[in-house]
């Protein structure tokens, strides 16, 4: 089976490709070729038991999406995107990559005349206030950011192209992925990871919002598992509702910090510096706090049950335990 991953140089894309080298299969099907595509050329994988090629190109440029699907991959993981903060800061770039790039990929598959599976990475940013304490999967879109709007349109395109049998699509609405490894990115939600990751390294971190902020989280490990499961799932179970709320954990910032103390000690948590930012607080106040992911859980998707578990997974995966 041939696999294409767009956005393969990103954190989730890279982790998924590395896990694919270890697992070798998606469900019961063996991988024979992996194409890793991104605007920045992905680093080579070590020890892959199948053919791997890396491509560096902007998916929103004319003809690029067609080149990505030229060898007719059976599963396409579409992870390429401009993250939330950058999409808000650069309106043109956000729509060019997140919307035009997505549409060009879907159209390239339609023109190629075959029916692969497409796993589309969406986001809980498609929802916005006012919303209930727990957001159902079928709750009306009301995005409050350009990024959320672009992902909502992508979900609609995915459903329509699937309805017309141009491909077999599944959308997964990622929670905020925390704790993200590496350096801070331009995502507006980046501070959620910063206040855990940096103190664990003995470095200070800035908290720009109040500790009573509640949000919906899953770890990078859970995100990778979501992708594997979406690639193997019987999509006949989805019907016309092609996008699923992914399981996650609802926690306040205060609960996150308490978990950090429990795992790493009070001195570690003292490295967090409170520095309120009204603009970030206003943005976060419009983010979902808890989602109903019961449909996804019934279909076999799972995530962590406590924030301590998320912290432990970060330490195990990024610091060799």
Residues assigned a catalytic role: 147
Question: Could you tell me if residue 248 is left (phi over 0), alpha (psi between -120 and 50 degrees) or otherwise beta?
Answer: beta
Burial class (CB in 10 A: 0-12, 13-18, 19+), 239: exposed
Give the dihedral of Cα atoms 106, 125, 38, 10; nearest 10 deg.
Answer: -150
Instruction: Report residue 42 as tokens.
Output: 């992905």
Handedness of CA 209, 179, 232, 109 (dihedral sign): positive
CA 148 distance to own-chain centroid: 13
What are residue 5's DSSP bridge partners?
A: 36, 77
Q: What is d(CA 62, CA 43) in angstroms, rounded to the nearest whole number?
A: 24
Name the maximum alpha-carbon separation found in the chain.
Answer: 59
Q: What is the DSSP letter of 101?
A: I
Q: What is d(CA 217, CA 190) in angstroms, rounded to the nearest whole number?
A: 12
Q: What is d(CA 107, CA 285) in angstroms, rounded to the nearest whole number?
A: 36
Query: Which residues have C-beta within 8 Å of that of residue 215, sequence separation ≥ 6?
Result: 176, 189, 192, 250, 251, 252, 253, 284, 287, 288, 289
- H helices of 201-252, in order, are 220-232
What are residue 122's DSSP bridge partners?
A: 173
């Amino acid at each position: 089976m041939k696999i294409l991953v767009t956005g393969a140089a990103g954190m989730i894309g890279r982790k998924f490709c590395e896990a694919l080298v270890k697992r070798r299969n998606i469900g019961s099907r063996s991988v024979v070729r992996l194409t890793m595509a991104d605007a920045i050329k992905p680093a080579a994988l070590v020890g892959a038991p199948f053919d791997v090629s890396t491509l560096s190109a902007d998916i929103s440029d004319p003809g690029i999406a067609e080149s990505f699907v030229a060898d007719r991959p059976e599963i396409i993981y579409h992870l390429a995107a401009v993250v939330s903060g950058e999409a808000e800061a650069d309106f043109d770039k956000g729509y060019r990559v997140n919307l035009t790039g997505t549409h060009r990929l879907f159209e390239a598959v339609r023109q190629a005349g075959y029916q692969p599976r497409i796993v589309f990475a969406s986001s809980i940013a498609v929802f916005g206030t006012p919303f209930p304490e727990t957001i159902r999967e079928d709750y009306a879109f009301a995005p409050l950011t350009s990024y959320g709007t672009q992902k909502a349109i992508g979900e609609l395109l995915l459903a329509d192209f699937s309805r017309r049998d141009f491909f077999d699509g599944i959308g997964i609405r990622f929670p905020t992925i925390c704790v993200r490894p590496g350096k801070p990115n331009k995502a507006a939600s980046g501070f959620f990871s910063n206040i855990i990751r940096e103190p664990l390294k003995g470095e200070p971190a800035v908290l720009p919002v109040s500790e009573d902020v509640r949000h919906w989280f899953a770890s990078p490990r859970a995100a990778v598992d979501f992708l594997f499961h979406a690639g193997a799932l019987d999509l006949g179970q989805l019907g016309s509702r092609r996008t699923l709320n992914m399981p996650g954990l609802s926690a306040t910032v205060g609960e996150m910090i308490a978990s950090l103390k429990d795992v790493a000690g009070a001195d570690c948590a003292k490295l967090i510096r409170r520095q309120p930012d009204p603009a970030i607080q206003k943005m976060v106040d419009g983010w979902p706090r808890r989602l109903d992911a019961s449909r996804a859980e019934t279909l076999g998707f799972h995530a962590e049950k406590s924030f301590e578990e998320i912290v432990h997974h970060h330490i195990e995966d990024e610091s060799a335990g």
